[in-house]
Amino acid sequence: MKKHILLAVFAATVLPFVVSAQPKPAQPEPEYKFTVVKENPVTSIKNQFRSGTCWCFSTISFLESEAIRINKIKDAAAYPDFSEMFVISHSYKDRADKYIRVDGKLGFGGGSEADDVLHVIKDYGLVPQCAMPGIQELPNHGELDAATKGYVEAIAGVTRRGTLSNTWKKGFDAIVDSFLGECPETFEIDGKTYTPETYRDAMKIVPEDYVTITSFTHHPFYTKFVIEVSDNWRWDEAYNLPIDEFMEVIYNAVNNGYTAAWGTDVSEKGFTRNGIAVLLDESKKPEAGSDQEHWVGKDPEKKDAPAVELPKELVPTQEYRQEGFDSKTTTDDHGMHIFGIAKDQNGKTYFMVKNSWGETGKYKGIWYASDAFVRGKSLDIMVHKDAVPKDIKKKLGIK
């Protein structure tokens, strides 16, 4: 009798803990279903691999789409493929020169901004991938970054102790060339010889035709200011717009056949590695259904109901953006390329974004970023000046 009592007590006290300790089945990921509203041409997905050069990959992709648009290229087989390493090489060399001029009081590394690409193209030209493919099949710039930073730090130390010759530049250039390859002076395509400058002009890329736009309140709207991030080492200025007009520029661009180079923060929980970027509102959980739905999903007979409710999003304001920038929770983590608009099954709008992490994720290198995410977490965008609505161009003084 006592044995049975002990077993009953054991069952009543221990077994519930054993049952509760069993792991719950993994919750299924939200199942997004997208319908394309507008999609503009882009070139193939690239992979920046182990390099901090998203700024170049995204802006080069943007300019490839610009060349397609400007030159009215219809055949995808004829789409241009511009060399990232040509731009990156000149950027490192220009940055080293400035670093020494300011006695090392400048960030030095692989990161930069979209405007850097325009500077290189304006000053040095543009080359196709076949003319300068780089040394590595997939860029791995750890050694390059370490070698170049150590070199300029050492030279900057010399400048603080005395005069400086120009010989150091030859040594720096040799380091960059050994990792990225030498920049060609001429090259041949389809039987015609080009220089980087004549190829840029043949592609009809005019750097002065592009504008960078941002949206923050610590500077007056409808003016230009230098965005205060270390990667903006050239100290380029951006036009400052209220967030609603900032978003209007993006919509106007995409809907009228343009695309945009996009600088944003991807450290958010809602930026998944599976092709989704949403601005999660973690204070709002999906409404609870039945216990059966909790464990095995909704009744398949309910055709009109999604299998899993989509996450709730914050409604970002101008104040939200400024707080994020001031507190460093919104930074310039990553550059990508906005090229289209889509809607999910609930009618919510997303931007179609080309990334530079290879054909990864559910959508093979494409991300779907919600309006709320872009509105709340964008640092800046670059567009052709003609993509800006006329009334906004007038406010900004863009000719």
pLDDT digits (tens, 9 = 90+) for 252-288: 999 999 999 999 999 999 999 999 999 999 776 554 4
Question: Are 42 and 65 spatial neighbours (Cβ–Cβ below 8 Å)?
Answer: yes
Residue 167, helix vs strand vs coil: helix
- Nearest by Cα to 363 from 375, 374, 352: 352
Q: Is the pLDDT of residue 8 over 70?
A: no
Express each pLDDT in 12-44 by its tens digit. 444 444 334 444 544 567 899 999 999 999 999
Higher-confidence position of 1 and 341? 341
Report, at the CATH architecture level, how domain 32-285+309-396 is classified.
Alpha-Beta Complex (3.90)
The model's pLDDT over 100-129, given as tens digits with 9 standing for 90+, comes to 999 999 999 999 999 999 999 999 999 999
- On whether the CB atoms of residues 221 and 242 are closer than 8 A, the answer is yes
For tokens 């609930």, name the residue.
346
Q: How far apart are CA 90 and CA 370, in angstroms?
A: 35
pLDDT at 12: 46
* Opening angle at CA 97, ends 92 and 102, nearest 5: 120
Angle between helices 54-70 and 114-124 (to 10 degrees): 60
**Has residue 10 got a pLDDT over 70?**
no
Higher pLDDT pick, 373 / 296: 373
231/55 Cα distance (integer angstroms): 10
Residue 343 has pLDDT above 60, yes or no: yes
* Cα end-to-end distance, the chain, whole Å: 96
Q: What is the residue type of 319?
A: E
- The arithmetic mean of pLDDT across residues 169-197, rounded, is 97
Band of pLDDT at residue 292, cut at 50, 70 and 90: very low
Which pLDDT score is estimated for 303?
52
Provide the 3-class DSSP secondary structure of residue 100: helix
**% the chain with pLDDT above 70:** 86
Asked if 48 contacts 357 with a C-beta cutoff of 8 angstroms, the reply is yes
Tell me the pLDDT of the chain averaged across its residues: 90
Q: Which of 286, 280, 283, 276 is nearest to 308 (CA)?
A: 286
Give the pLDDT of residue 291.
29
List the chain domain ranges: 32-285+309-396
**What per-residue confidence (pLDDT) applies to 27?**
54
CB 121 within 8 A of CB 114: no
Spatial distance between the Cα atoms of 212 and 210, rounded to a whole number of angstroms:
7
The whole-number pLDDT of residue 285 equals: 58
Structure-model confidence comparison of residues 387 and 268, the more confident one = 387
Q: How many CA atoms lie within 13 A of 169 on its CB side?
A: 12
Q: How far apart are alpha carbons 162 and 175 in whole angstroms?
A: 24
| Residue given tokens 């398949």 in the structure block | 300
- 297 falls in which pLDDT band (50, 70, 90)? very low
Give residue 317's pLDDT.
Answer: 98
Length of the chain: 399
Phi–psi pair at 193, nearest 5 degrees: -95, 135
Segment 155-175 mean pLDDT: 89
Helix (H, G, I), strand (E, B) or coil at 367: strand
Q: Are 352 and 42 in contact (CB under 8 A)?
A: no
Q: Which residues pair with 213 in a beta bridge?
A: 239, 381
User: Is 60 exceeded by the pLDDT of residue 173?
Assistant: yes
**64 SS3 class:** helix
Task: State the pTM of this model.
Answer: 0.88
SS3 225: strand
**Whose CA is closest to 118, among 215, 243, 238, 219?**
238
Written as six digits, the tokens of 58 are 């995204």
Contacts of residue 255, Cβ cutoff 8 Å, sequence gap at least 6: 38, 341
Q: What is the mean pLDDT of residues 216-235?
A: 98
